[in-house]
């Protein structure tokens, strides 16, 4: 699997406008994608000539990790991993070396240039991220497991009466996170959002000691981390019978979300997917209260390409895993967001999050 990913990266290097002999990968997420390495210090030189000419570098703390996780590449042990590979690149038949300019500071670039000596450095941002945007079957299987852990945690929370007046937002958030761990997660995918009452109108509210009250909208945005991959889901429920305005708001967001899901087709511009959902909200006179993009890619990072937004660029491709999460927020009153994680397919997209999107009255 990792050999295949490095081979695909070589294809991008050969097709790039700037001709290089190798790419120095320093972003740890990209290194994990290309090798499976999970340590906190590493660099990877991917040579266009193949794995035999490529090198992996980490420090002595991770010697055993490297042997177990990256056995197919020659490993260099050096604390200054990026500098070590840049400094030795000339001896590995590298005259022109690409580097991840989007992951390197100005000072690190200067040090890298000093270490590289006669080897020319060339900016080559975003190549690995382009590969990561389309998930393979193994990645989708792990993402499905992460989504299942979140689905199960919410089902358990509801069945146990975990959403009730008197509990605080923080207590509910911690409860969800513990239950996700019980269903196989290594932890939450990001800071869990639990927002009750007027707080539900704040898109990224951080849980507080505020108590849930009868009649509150309760917005929960959360996800599970499994084998390095993130899930993402939002559901908004009501404590007790829903008021007419709460039901109307939920129905509007549900309609916008359905339109966004239906627009997920290979070849569709990401801005058009956002537009399909946003038009539903705008036609209801609530466009100004939908204040963020429609969604984003998920994978080894909780937010990654593509961005489903009015300002997003590019088009969808089969195998991309994205969220669709419209929201409408009435300041000082309450808000609703409904979010699913889906796989773009030829034809209908595949849902990875399975919790009902119907309005739940707890």
Task: Give the DSSP letter string of 92-124.
Answer: GT-SEEEE-GGG--HHHHHHHHHHHTTSEEEE-
Q: Cβ(264)–Cβ(316) under 8 Å? A: yes
Compute the average pLDDT of residues 321-345. Answer: 98
Quick one: residue 322, left, alpha or beta (phi over 0 = left, psi -120 to 50 = alpha)?
Answer: beta
- C-alpha 303/C-alpha 162 separation (Å) is 29
pLDDT for the residue 332: 96
Q: Cβ(260)–Cβ(276) under 8 Å? A: yes
- C-alpha 115/C-alpha 256 separation (Å) is 53
> pLDDT class for 236, splitting at 50, 70, 90?
very high
Q: How does DSSP classify residue 78?
A: -
| Co-location of 125 and 186 in the same domain | no
| Co-location of 125 and 166 in the same domain | no
| Co-location of 109 and 180 in the same domain | no
Torsions phi, psi of 203, nearest 5?
-55, -45
Go through the chain and tell me how many residues it has.
362
361 lies in some domain: no
Q: What is the pLDDT of residues 276-288, one digit of tens each?
A: 999 999 999 999 9
| Co-location of 158 and 126 in the same domain | no
| Co-location of 304 and 200 in the same domain | yes
Q: Cβ(100)–Cβ(124) under 8 Å? A: yes
CATH number of 149's domain = 3.90.230.10
CATH number of 67's domain = 3.40.350.10
40 lies in some domain: yes
Q: What is the pLDDT of residues 111-142, one digit of tens each?
A: 999 999 999 999 999 999 999 999 999 999 99
362 lies in some domain: no
| Co-location of 164 and 124 in the same domain | no
Q: Cβ(333)–Cβ(289) under 8 Å? A: no
| Co-location of 37 and 166 in the same domain | no
Averaged pLDDT of the chain: 97
| Co-location of 178 and 114 in the same domain | no
- C-alpha 82/C-alpha 123 separation (Å) is 15
| Co-location of 186 and 106 in the same domain | no
Q: Cβ(238)–Cβ(334) under 8 Å? A: no
pLDDT for the residue 352: 98
360 lies in some domain: no
Identify the domain containing residue 78 by its residue range.
Answer: 2-131
* Domain final residue pick, 115, 131, 147: 131
Q: State the maximum Cα–Cα separation within the chain, in Å, rounded to a whole number.
A: 72
Task: Count structural domains, the chain.
Answer: 2
Query: How would DSSP label each residue in 303-324?
Result: SEEEEESTT--SB--TTBEEEE
> Which residue shows structure tokens 């190549």?
127
């Amino acid at each position: 699997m990792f050999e295949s990913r490095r081979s695909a990266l070589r294809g991008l290097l050969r097709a790039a406008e700037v001709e290089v002999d190798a790419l120095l990968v320093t972003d740890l997420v990209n290194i994990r994608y290309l090798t499976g390495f999970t340590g906190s210090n590493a660099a990877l030189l991917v040579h266009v000539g193949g794995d035999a000419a490529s090198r992996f570098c980490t420090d002595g703390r991770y010697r055993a990790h490297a042997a177990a996780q990256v056995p197919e590449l020659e490993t260099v042990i050096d604390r200054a991993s990026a500098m070590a590979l840049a400094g030795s690149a000339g001896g590995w038949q590298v005259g022109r070396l690409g580097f991840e300019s989007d992951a390197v500071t100005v000072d690190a670039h200067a040090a890298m240039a000093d270490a590289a000596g006669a080897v020319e450095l060339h900016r080559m941002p975003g190549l690995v991220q382009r590969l990561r945007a389309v998930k393979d079957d193994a990645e989708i299987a792990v993402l499905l497991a992460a989504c299942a852990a979140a689905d199960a945690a919410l089902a358990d929370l509801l069945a146990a009466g975990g959403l009730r007046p008197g509990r605080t937002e923080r207590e509910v958030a911690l409860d969800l996170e513990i239950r996700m761990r019980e269903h196989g997660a290594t932890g939450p995918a990001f800071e869990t959002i639990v927002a009750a009452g007027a707080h539900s109108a704040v898109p990224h509210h951080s849980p507080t000691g505020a108590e849930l009250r009868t009649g509150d909208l309760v917005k929960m945005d959360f996800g599970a981390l499994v084998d390095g991959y993130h899930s993402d889901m939002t559901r908004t429920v009501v404590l007790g019978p829903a008021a007419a305005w709460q039901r109307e708001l939920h129905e509007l967001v549900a309609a916008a979300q359905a339109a966004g899901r239906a627009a997920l087709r290979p070849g569709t511009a990401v801005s058009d997917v956002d537009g399909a959902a946003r038009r539903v909200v705008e036609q209801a006179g609530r466009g100004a209260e939908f204040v963020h993009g429609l969604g984003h890619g998920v994978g080894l990072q909780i937010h990654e390409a593509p961005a489903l937004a009015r300002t997003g660029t590019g088009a969808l491709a089969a195998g991309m895993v994205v969220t669709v999460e419209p929201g409408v927020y009435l300041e000082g009153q309450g808000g609703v967001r409904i979010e699913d994680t889906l796989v773009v397919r030829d034809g209908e997209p595949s849902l990875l999050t399975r919790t009902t999107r119907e309005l739940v009255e707890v």
